[in-house]
Structure 1
Amino acid sequence: MTHRFVGVGALTDVPRVAVVIDVMRAFTVAAWAFSRGAERIVLASSEEEALALKAASPGWLALKDGPPAAGFDAVNSPGLMRSADLAGRTVVQKTTAGTVGALAVADAPLVLCASFVVAGATARFLRAEGREPVTFVVTGEDGRADEDLACAEYIGRRITDSDVEAGPYLRRARTSKAAGELADGVRRGYRGVDPDDVELCLEADRFDFVMAARREESLLVLRPLPRAAVDDGGEERRTARR
């Protein structure tokens, strides 16, 4: 299967299949939100839009990068997300890299959002789809973030070799600039960073679902596809194609 790895700024066309990677931390957080019962995640283009969507839709929650801020219910931290009760809730997410990357390829026929925690499920889904080329959108550091590139390469290898070991890719991510910055934030006591964030971002294949993004009216909405859709196809997978 043919792959390409590009940064958001290097996108020059609408990919046929786009896999948007943000390991630290947007799409690790999104996966944890789904594991905690969230029904859907709306990807916002700005903090102002996130707050406006929340204000217009009672019961919705808003999440952002950085420290806690007025109007926002959560921050972009898997360590803080893992204890949240999100059963049936809609979360509006705005981050510096991940949501930007997803919105940049929103018109692609198939958009998946991924990190290490859903890497195996994402690879199985792509193998079953069989469509190529797959464009991996590396969202961090203008396409140079080693944790995102390592995750993209791991998924790419797993599409054709389900026995590939995650260890070498996780070691690259552990020594990345983003991992160092998160660890430094913990040491300095920054709000919005949990001591377990790095380790939670480096748990390969923790969850069995795929996260597929599609337009719903004017919004780009991320939803989980269950294990049956990942392994066997069916209506859920056809829905992800639009």
Structure 2
Amino acid sequence: MDSRTVGIPEVDGTEDVAVVIDVMRAFTTAAWAFHRGADKIVLAADVGEALAIKACQPGWLALKDGAPVRGFDLVNSPGVIRDTDLSGRTVIQKTTAGTVGALAVVEAKLALCASFAVAGATARALADAAADSVTFVATGEDGRAAEDLACAEYLDRLLAGDRPDPDPYLLRARTSPAADDLRGGRRRGAHPADVELCLEVNRFDFAMKVGLEEGMAVLRPLRPRPDAASAVHRAR
């Protein structure tokens, strides 16, 4: 499978199959939200849209980067979401980079959102789709985020049929500026466990697919077919 990796500014609308990567922390947080029972995640373009959607859907929960603020119920932190019961809930997510990247490719034939936590399942979903090519969208730092590029390269190796050792890729993520900022408390709304949770490989057995539903960008878990249930373990 042919692949290329771009930043959000390089997305040009020609992406038939895209994987939007935000390791620290949007799509690690999203994966944990589904694990904790969320039904779906609606991706908002900005804070105003997130609050407008919530105003029309009072039972939905709004989530954003940074410290808690009025109108938002959750913060973009896997460590916080890990301890939150979201059974049957809809979450509205707005983040600085991840949701922006997902919205840029939401009309692709297949658009997945990924992090290390769902890497194996993401590779399996791409293989099942029999795509000829894939565009990885590294969202952090205009496509230069070390953790997102490492995850893209790890996914590319999986798609090539390799069984790569994840440790070198995780080391790049662990020593990235984003990880340093989280550990140093320079990102508000962070939990002490966030970095380590973002470095868990194949923690979950589902991919995450984004598409348009009733005019909204909606992220849902994409679970493996029964005959592919061991895909994540084969990718370890």
TM-score interval (norm. to shorter): over 0.9
* 127-136 or 1-10, which deviates more: 127-136
Q: Say which SS state the counterpart of residue 221 (structure 1) adopts.
A: strand
Q: Say which SS state the counterpart of residue 184 (structure 2) adopts.
A: helix
Q: Distance in 1 between matches of 2:45 and 2:128?
A: 31
Cα deviation for residue 45 of structure 1 reads 0.3
Pick from 201, 204, 213: which aligns with 2:201? Answer: 204
Q: Say which SS state the counterpart of residue 227 (structure 1) adopts.
A: coil
Cα deviation for residue 107 of structure 1 reads 1.3
Structure 1 residue runs of 4 or more that deviate by more than 3 Å after TM superposition: none
2:119 equivalent to 1:119: yes
Structure 1, residues 132-163: CA drift from partner, whole Å, max 9, x if none? 21000000011010100000110111112252
Cα deviation for residue 217 of structure 1 reads 1.4
Structure 1, residues 144-193: CA drift from partner, whole Å, max 9, x if none? 101000001101111122521111100110011110111111xx7x6511
Structure 1, residues 110-149: CA drift from partner, whole Å, max 9, x if none? 1000000000110111122221210000000110101000
Contact 2:157 2:163 in 1 (8 A): no
Q: Say which SS state the counterpart of residue 157 (structure 1) adopts.
A: helix
Show structure 1 runs of 5+ residues with no match: 233-242
Matched positions, count: 229
Contact 2:79 2:191 in 1 (8 A): yes
Q: Assess, with a 3 A threshold, how the Cα gap between structure 1 residues 24 and 229 changes in structure 2: closer, same or farther.
A: farther
Q: Say which SS state the counterpart of residue 200 (structure 1) adopts.
A: helix
Q: Say which SS state the counterpart of residue 14 (structure 2) adopts.
A: coil
Contact 1:63 1:72 in 2 (8 A): yes
Output aligned runs, 1:39-188, within 5 Å. 39-185=39-185
Structure 1, residues 194-231: CA drift from partner, whole Å, max 9, x if none? 00000000000000001000100110000001232792
TM-score under structure 2 length normalisation: 0.94
2:8 equivalent to 1:8: yes
Contact 1:121 1:230 in 2 (8 A): no
1:18 aligned partner: 18
TM-score under structure 1 length normalisation: 0.91
Q: Distance in 2 between matches of 1:123 and 1:207?
A: 13
1:36 aligned partner: 36
AA aligned opposite 1:199: E
Q: Distance in 2 between matches of 1:7 and 1:171?
A: 21
Structure 1, residues 26-56: CA drift from partner, whole Å, max 9, x if none? 0000000000000000000011111111111
Contact 2:8 2:138 in 1 (8 A): yes
Q: Distance in 1 between matches of 2:188 and 2:150?
A: 27
1:227 aligned partner: 224
Q: Assess, with a 3 A threshold, how the Cα gap between structure 1 residues 162 and 135 changes in structure 2: closer, same or farther.
A: same
2:213 equivalent to 1:216: yes
Q: Say which SS state the counterpart of residue 67 (structure 1) adopts.
A: coil
Q: Distance in 2 between matches of 1:162 and 1:79?
A: 31
Cα deviation for residue 14 of structure 1 reads 2.7
Q: Distance in 2 between matches of 1:200 and 1:163?
A: 22
AA aligned opposite 1:127: A
Q: Say which SS state the counterpart of residue 51 (structure 2) adopts.
A: helix
CA RMSD, Structure 1 to Structure 2 (Å)? 1.4
Cα deviation for residue 58 of structure 1 reads 2.1
Q: Assess, with a 3 A threshold, how the Cα gap between structure 1 residues 85 and 230 changes in structure 2: closer, same or farther.
A: farther
AA aligned opposite 2:213: E
Cα deviation for residue 106 of structure 1 reads 1.3
Show structure 2 runs of 5+ residues with no match: 230-236
